[in-house]
Structure 1
Amino acid sequence: MEVAAQITVDPSKIMQVGTGFFGTKTLLTAVNMELFTILAKRELSGNEIQTKLSLHSRSLYDFLDALVAMGFLKRKGIKESALYSNAEDTDLFLDKNKPSYIGGILEMCNNRLYPFWNNLEDGLKTGLQQNEAKDGGQSPFEVIYADPDKLREFIRAMTGVQMGNFIAFANGFDFSNYKTLCDIGGSGGTLSAHVAMKNPHMQCTTFDLPPVSPIAQENLDAMGLGDKVKVVSGDFFTDNFPKADVITMGQILHDWGTKDKKMLVKKAYNALPKGGAFVVIENLIDDDRRKNAFGLLMSLNMLIETPEGYDISTSDFDGLAKEAGFVKTSIIPLAGPSSAGIAIK
């Protein structure tokens, strides 16, 4: 009699991803309540945390110990005798009082994106964005740019999530043959700042809409680079790009549809000298579309957030660049799922 083959297929991956929102919302809630900022000052008991965050006693220890089990908190003792503190990564990246804080993007995920992703099915069936603009409301970007405080918070969020990429690019790209750089859609000026710090011979310009300029100048002054990086106001849809040896765009192309992508790449081409470099920092999707899950999910997020935006693959980048006139392209891996796509004129 034959013995049935042992079943080795395991449902754990399905359950882990299918219930992944449990952990996601637990972390986002902790960030939103500033738990990690509070714990950066000193370790606290559960009762002290309960008082500071105005929590009910019912699920207090389930909440805190879930964060322990997921590796975001450390704990001595248990339940009523426990003392909680931050893990190393949460202490560095999720304490609002540290310049390394990246929680702004997580606050936006909690307060905006989390509920909008509930409409993914509608987006997939209609091809229409699913955020505040879904029912004729204002685009979130119109709201953000109209309010200096919201704009400052948004720029801080975008800067935090891109910081690792900008540092990796400033360290990993060979600037020896170039003298000038212009970062298109430069937001808070952080990419230009890191290039200037790492490559003192480079003259850098950060280019963005007029409401962004004073915030970029504040950031650069705070970093001691107010005289080293030039802030220029303009609209990359209506204005020509400033001339430079290197033109960069960090997470710009994925906001727009194919027609606008082509227009922006062509403007970059026109602003560069022969031998100049166009660099896009994006979550470039691998050509086989199997490995960069984050890039693919970010492209779905562009469905939620924008009328026509999507993330591109490395071959998409090559095609856009060659169509604009660039002669060769290459890819530099950066932090996590991000890469720098480089096109040479």
Structure 2
Amino acid sequence: MTTDNDTWTQPVSVPRPIDDPFDILLVGWSFVRGNLLMSALELGVFEELGKAPGTAEQITQRLGLHPRGARDFLDALAALGVLERDGDVYRNGPAADRHLIPGRHGFVGGFLAMTTQFMGTGWGSLASMLRTGDPHGQDAGTVPFEQVFRDPERLRQFLSAMDSLNGAIGPELARRFDWSRHSSFVDIGGARGNLAGTLLLAHPHLAGGVFDRPVMGPFLEELAEDRGVLDRMTFHGGDFFVDRIPGADVVIFGNVLHDCPVEIRRDLIAQAAEAIPPGGAVVVYDPMIDDERRVVDNLLLSLIMMVQSPAGNEYTPADCRGWMEEAGLQVEEVLKLPAHATAVVGRKPA
């Protein structure tokens, strides 16, 4: 068994003790940053600045804002790093230009708005979840994202957000996993096939599949045709909560298991272990919590999952290793990937 030592070992920064009383207040007010960003999305700031930069007065007029708070609002967005200010002129920063303008390939605003609605309008929903264990505003038996599948517009926003996440992960997974040992893969819960398309373009010898809800089929065909990989990509319509997953040399679970109860995580990995041939692999990636539970961003992501999803939470690579070993797989790599993700690779003995 080998471990990629440059993937998970990272220096742990020790935070300085908070002393200034205003620093304590700012920690308590950190939710304001989220409200600032969501307000900018709701008001159409990024979309408008995508058309043309402008001064505070011009943007106020173009968006129909009241002048009282506009300059502070725009300056705060610039201080946050989503806008840039050059003299009196504001424009979108690189991240806003890529990810916060509706209709663009990397747009995450719809997904952000949707998950914010799931979590509630404030962090009171976090306190409620911590008291009760229940997510905000959802039935405990609800299948994750069930409402999204029923609304075509929200589904497109969701798919755009998924593309932006696995769009960062795909090239690294294509580069760092040894695909030369395999001829096929299937991406479980792979949405419209953005990750699969990336892998197929990087490795022309591969054939790829995506297993997801039947509603995803037309979206996948559209993407596969656009990428020129329609002849090598297969769509498997189904529901992994009910149907058995299809077989391939490599089975991928990307941003899937953190939505599921632990017993379903175990079952899906066991199914995958049965679906691959000897020498095949199972790849699981999620924004996993580090084994020492010290990286704050992924811990916060776990809390967000708990607030918005009936059974969601992040887990550690050690947890995933245990589930894989229970299924008879040998863990050979733990890879750190973009988008705060960690991949655990388990191989079936030859």
Quick check: 1:235 aligned with 2:239? yes
Instruction: Count the aligned residue pairs.
Output: 332
Give yes or no for contact 1:116–1:304 (8 Å, CA) kept in 2: no
2:95 corresponds in structure 1 to 89
Distance 1:189 1:316, change over 3 A: same
Quick check: 1:128 aligned with 2:134? yes
Quick check: 1:170 aligned with 2:174? yes
Quick check: 1:312 aligned with 2:315? yes
Give yes or no for contact 2:282–2:347 (8 Å, CA) kept in 1: yes
What aligned pairs does 1:251-290 form with structure 2 within 5 A after superposition? 251-290=255-294
Give yes or no for contact 1:25–1:110 (8 Å, CA) kept in 2: no
Distance 1:174 1:267, change over 3 A: same
Any idea what SS the aligned residue of 1:85 has?
Answer: strand
Provide the rounded CA distance (Å) in 2 between the counterparts of 1:233 and 1:301. 29
Distance 1:286 1:308, change over 3 A: same
Shift of the alpha carbon at 1:163? 1.9
Any idea what SS the aligned residue of 2:211 has?
Answer: strand
TM-score of the pair, normalised by structure 1: 0.89
Query: Which range moved further: 202-211 or 214-223?
Result: 214-223
Shift of the alpha carbon at 1:302? 2.5
Distance 1:111 1:240, change over 3 A: closer
Query: Which range moved further: 186-195 or 65-74?
Result: 65-74
Give yes or no for contact 1:104–1:160 (8 Å, CA) kept in 2: no
Counterpart selection for 1:100 from 100, 103, 106 = 106
Distance 1:316 1:200, change over 3 A: same
What aligned pairs does 1:315-334 form with structure 2 within 5 A after superposition? 315-334=318-337
Shift of the alpha carbon at 1:29? 1.7
Give yes or no for contact 1:284–1:312 (8 Å, CA) kept in 2: yes
Quick check: 1:145 aligned with 2:145? no
Question: Counterpart amino acid of 1:320?
Answer: W
Distance 1:92 1:306, change over 3 A: closer
2:42 corresponds in structure 1 to 32
Any idea what SS the aligned residue of 1:211 has?
Answer: helix
Query: Which range moved further: 196-205 or 90-99?
Result: 90-99
Question: Counterpart amino acid of 2:310?
Answer: P
Counterpart selection for 2:78 from 53, 68, 72 = 68
Any idea what SS the aligned residue of 2:323 has?
Answer: helix
Any idea what SS the aligned residue of 2:253 has?
Answer: strand
Q: Which has the larger radius of gyration?
A: 1
Any idea what SS the aligned residue of 1:227 has?
Answer: helix
Shift of the alpha carbon at 1:149? 2.5
1:300 corresponds in structure 2 to 303
Provide the rounded CA distance (Å) in 2 between the counterparts of 1:97 and 1:302. 26
Give yes or no for contact 1:37–1:97 (8 Å, CA) kept in 2: no
2:121 corresponds in structure 1 to 115
Any idea what SS the aligned residue of 2:180 has?
Answer: coil
Q: Report Cα offsets for 1:105-161 as digits up to 9, x if no partner.
A: 323244443526421122112212223437x9x767232212223222222222223
Q: Report Cα offsets for 1:296-331 as digits up to 9, x if no partner.
A: 222222321223222110100100000011123421
Query: Which range moved further: 153-162 or 7-16?
Result: 7-16
Query: Which range moved further: 159-168 or 196-205?
Result: 159-168
What aligned pairs does 1:244-255 form with structure 2 within 5 A after superposition? 244-255=248-259
Q: Report Cα offsets for 1:179-235 as digits up to 9, x if no partner.
A: 000001111211101100111111000110111211222222233332332112111
Identical positions, percent: 33
Query: Which range moved further: 104-113 or 215-224?
Result: 104-113
Which runs of no fewer than 5 residues in structure 1 stay unpaired? 1-6
2:7 corresponds in structure 1 to none
Which runs of no fewer than 5 residues in structure 2 stay unpaired? 1-15
Provide the rounded CA distance (Å) in 1 between the counterparts of 2:214 and 2:196. 17
Runs of 4+ residues over 6 Å off in structure 1: none
Quick check: 1:22 aligned with 2:32? yes
Q: Which has the higher contact order (CA 8 A, sep 6+)?
A: 2
Provide the rounded CA distance (Å) in 1 between the counterparts of 2:46 and 2:151. 27
1:338 corresponds in structure 2 to 341
Query: Which range moved further: 108-117 or 229-238?
Result: 108-117
Query: Which range moved further: 268-277 or 220-229?
Result: 220-229
1:4 corresponds in structure 2 to none
RMSD across aligned C-alpha pairs, in angstroms?
A: 2.3
2:3 corresponds in structure 1 to none
Provide the rounded CA distance (Å) in 1 between the counterparts of 2:313 and 2:272. 19
Any idea what SS the aligned residue of 1:176 has?
Answer: helix
TM-score of the pair, normalised by structure 2: 0.87
